[in-house]
Structure 1
Amino acid sequence: MRINDTDITNLERKFRLNLINSITGIKPANLIGTRALDGTDNVAIFSSVVHLGSHPAQLGFIMRPQNPISPKDTYANILETKYYTINSISETFTKKAHYTSAKLEKHHSEFDAMHIDKSFIDNFHAPFVTQSPIKIGMKHLESIPLPNGCIFVIGSVVLLDVPDETINELGQIDLASTQSAGISGLNSYYRLRNLATYPYVRTNELPDFE
């Protein structure tokens, strides 16, 4: 298939949706947990979490366009409380994680509906996903509106919980050992495995390529 922007626009809606969501390859699979002011806990799947910087430690993710009068629970909770969690999804619970995208009634918790265990660490406001091997506590810093109506949510890492045995002496996490899953498109889940690890690239140390 070779198509231009006009062809893309004229594609059947669902075909276009699946195609464009798949062309970037495997994306990180994460559950974002929040707690409302009334104590209702929510969790929802996202495949848009990205690294922004390590000093200070910051991550971002993309929210779909929101109704300014009644935003979705996840975003509303982040705006009200400033805190949320990012939790990796392992191979063992991809199905439960996937169905957190359901449009439940307000104040109906996905933790309960999908039978996902939650836990709290060091009195952090928002809930973590117990089964997640990588748990990140976040504080909201800024929301940036994007040209397509989506919102880029930026936060600082204030808490991190990762199994010691998955981290090497350089601080690198072996994602294969955590059985972390990745997402292609909107609903296809993939197993991760390490192919190779290369050194930091310096111009004077380039190898000879054939």
Structure 2
Amino acid sequence: MLFTRQDIDRLDRIKRLNIINSITGIKPANLIGTQLDNQTNLAIFSSLVHLGSHPPLLGFVTRPPGDVPRHTLENILATGHYTINHVPVSHVEQAHQTSAKYDREQSEFEICGFDSEYINDFPAPFVAEACVQIGMKLSQIIPIELNQTRLVVGQIELIRLPADLISEEGYIDLTSANTAGISGLNSYYQLSHQNTFPYARPKPPKQSS
């Protein structure tokens, strides 16, 4: 099956949305925790990307505030801090439910069955059930003009995870962490480690026989 750009534009809106959201393959499933005026908020995101290691930068994409409230972005703009928490495979149904449009006065932590916790006086709540927890400080927000989304860029201020998940080289065992992945908007996967290879360097071309 071949889709041209014109074919894509002519697709039913929901089908187009699902195809384009799935086309990148498995994406990380993360819960972003925020707090404003003692009111906690939790929402699932699948757009988290690594932007650099020194300084340690992560980014995620969100739509701007407008007719539809964007509590996560609004809280980050107000406080400058947020947390990123890996979704455990055992909690994918609860994590997915955080995507529902709850009122600001309702906490997705409580409604969706997650416990909030605070680490080292960090000003945003972490998900206690998450094996990998990351504390973030807002760095900048980059507008993407073509579709009016925003790339939220933050610096890592804190990481907490079990010591036995980190190899001597610093790789994190996501299989043992039971971290879930997402395809599209609502299909969840369990990750399975396949192999680890050394740093790739150029090799001489194979000699033909």
Give 1:207 deviation, angstroms. 8.8
Asked if 1:86 corresponds to 2:88, the answer is no
The answer on whether the counterparts of 1:140 and 1:154 sit within 8 Å (CA) in structure 2 is: yes
Q: Deviations over 1:19-46 (max 9, x none)?
A: 111111000000000000x110000000
Asked if 1:96 corresponds to 2:94, the answer is yes
Give TM-score scaled by structure 2 length. Answer: 0.95
Partner of 2:115: 117
Closer/same/farther in 2, CA of residues 112 and 200 from structure 1, 3 Å limit:
same
Q: Deviations over 1:164-198 (max 9, x none)?
A: 01101001001000110100000000010111111
The answer on whether the counterparts of 1:60 and 1:154 sit within 8 Å (CA) in structure 2 is: yes
The answer on whether the counterparts of 2:131 and 2:177 sit within 8 Å (CA) in structure 1 is: yes
Partner of 2:27: 27
Give, in whole Å, the separation in 1 of the partners of 2:200 and 2:13: 42
Give, in whole Å, the separation in 2 of the partners of 1:207 and 1:189: 40
Give, in whole Å, the separation in 2 of the partners of 1:15 and 1:209: 48
Runs of 4+ in 1 over 2 A off after TM superposition: 206-210
Partner of 1:193: 192
Q: Match of 1:101, SS?
A: coil
Give 1:208 deviation, angstroms. 5.7
Give, in whole Å, the separation in 1 of the partners of 2:45 and 2:70: 14
Give, in whole Å, the separation in 2 of the partners of 1:193 and 1:58: 26
Closer/same/farther in 2, CA of residues 35 and 193 from structure 1, 3 Å limit:
same
Closer/same/farther in 2, CA of residues 6 and 166 from structure 1, 3 Å limit:
same
The answer on whether the counterparts of 2:56 and 2:155 sit within 8 Å (CA) in structure 1 is: yes
Which amino acid is 1:121 matched to? I
Q: Match of 1:95, SS?
A: helix
Closer/same/farther in 2, CA of residues 177 and 16 from structure 1, 3 Å limit:
same
The answer on whether the counterparts of 1:66 and 1:150 sit within 8 Å (CA) in structure 2 is: no
Partner of 1:174: 173
Partner of 2:162: 163
Q: Where does the alignment leave 5 or more consecutive residues of structure 1 unmatched?
A: none
Q: Match of 1:203, SS?
A: coil
Give TM-score scaled by structure 1 length. Answer: 0.94
Aligned length: 207
Give 1:71 deviation, angstroms. 4.7
Which amino acid is 1:102 matched to? A
The answer on whether the counterparts of 2:175 and 2:193 sit within 8 Å (CA) in structure 1 is: yes
Percent identity reads 49
Q: Where does the alignment leave 5 or more consecutive residues of structure 2 unmatched?
A: none
Give 1:70 deviation, angstroms. 7.7
The answer on whether the counterparts of 1:25 and 1:184 sit within 8 Å (CA) in structure 2 is: yes
Give 1:49 deviation, angstroms. 0.5
Give, in whole Å, the separation in 1 of the partners of 2:9 and 2:30: 30
Q: Match of 1:177, SS?
A: coil
Which amino acid is 2:76 matched to? I
Q: Deviations over 1:27-82 (max 9, x none)?
A: 0000000000x110000000000001111101000012321x88511111100110
User: What is the alpha-carbon root mean square deviation over aligned residues?
Assistant: 1.7
Give, in whole Å, the separation in 1 of the partners of 2:205 and 2:124: 47
